[in-house]
Structure formats: C-alpha cells, structure tokens
Amino acid sequence: MATPAAMVEEISKLSVEQLRQVKEQVDGEVSVLQDSLNNIRTAANRFEMASKSLNMLSTQPAGKKMLVPLTASLYASGTLANTDHVLVDVGTGYFIEKSLPEGKDYCERKIKFLKENHQKLVEVASGKQNAAEQISMVLQAKMRQPSSPQRS
C-alpha cells in the first residue's frame, strides 16, 4: 500500500475533472462500506438477542405460556412445548432443528464471525475515508490555483 505522501503525489498529477471523478468513486465506495458496516452490526445484534433468548429459554419449564413473535410488531399467544430443541434460521428461509446447546453455539459462532468481519471492514472503510480526504485536499488545492481552467 502506498504511503500517504506517495498517494498525494500520484493524485496531484490528475486533472481537476479526473480528481472529481476519483473522489466521487471513492465516496461511493465509502458509502457502500458504511452500509455494509451497519448491516453487519444489525445482524450481530440480532444474533446476540437470539443468544440471550436461548439462554433465557433454557431456564423455562415446558408448558409455560408465552408470547411468540410472528413479526417485529405482531405476537401470538403460545405454550412452550419443548426446551430441548430449537429451530435455527440459517438464512434464505431455511430453518434447521438443533439442540439448545447447538443453537447457542451457532449464535455464538455467527456473532464471532460477524465481529471479525466488522473489524476488517472498519479498517478498509478507514483507509477509503483517508483516501477520500486526501483527494479532497488535492482537489481543493488545485481549484485554488489561478491557472486551473476548470474552476467551478
């Protein structure tokens, strides 16, 4: 990876219009990375809530009355029939029956995986954000130059 000074030297060779295009592209990439970070955070939070629910479920006796979430805002009355097995959502509408410990383990593995990916994405997004800032500074400097024919 190029040093910041080398990067500034390279981008300073570009014209104002080329700098605008590169900045627009890098800003788009930063936006996509931010959206991905938000999605990963949301998914990790959901798995953490599921893990807590499984921990709480393991302490409940069979036959206990409870509210079952059908959607985020719709609940139905239900009775806990079996605390030994749970259905785990593995994505795209597929569910797998697992024992309660296996369900907890699945959630914990997913949380760990998402947090690792989140950290990697934070590093990439930070690098892209720094690049966008460098491009902005060079673009502003070029636009201040009196010999720049493409002033806006």
Predicted local confidence at residue 149, as pLDDT: 53
The conformation of residue 14, written as its DSSP 8-state character, comes to: S
pLDDT at residue 58 in the model: 84
- CATH architecture of the domain formed by 4-141: Orthogonal Bundle (1.10)
Question: Is residue 61 within a helix (H) or strand (E), and if so which, with residue range?
Answer: none
pLDDT by residue for the chain (152 residues), tens only, comes to 556 666 677 777 888 888 889 889 999 999 999 999 999 999 999 999 999 989 988 888 888 999 988 888 999 999 988 888 888 888 888 999 999 999 999 999 999 999 999 999 999 999 999 988 988 888 888 888 776 455 44
Q: What is the pLDDT of residue 45?
A: 93
The pTM of this model reads 0.74
Domain range summary for the chain, segments of one domain joined by +: 4-141
Residue written as tokens 């097995």? 85
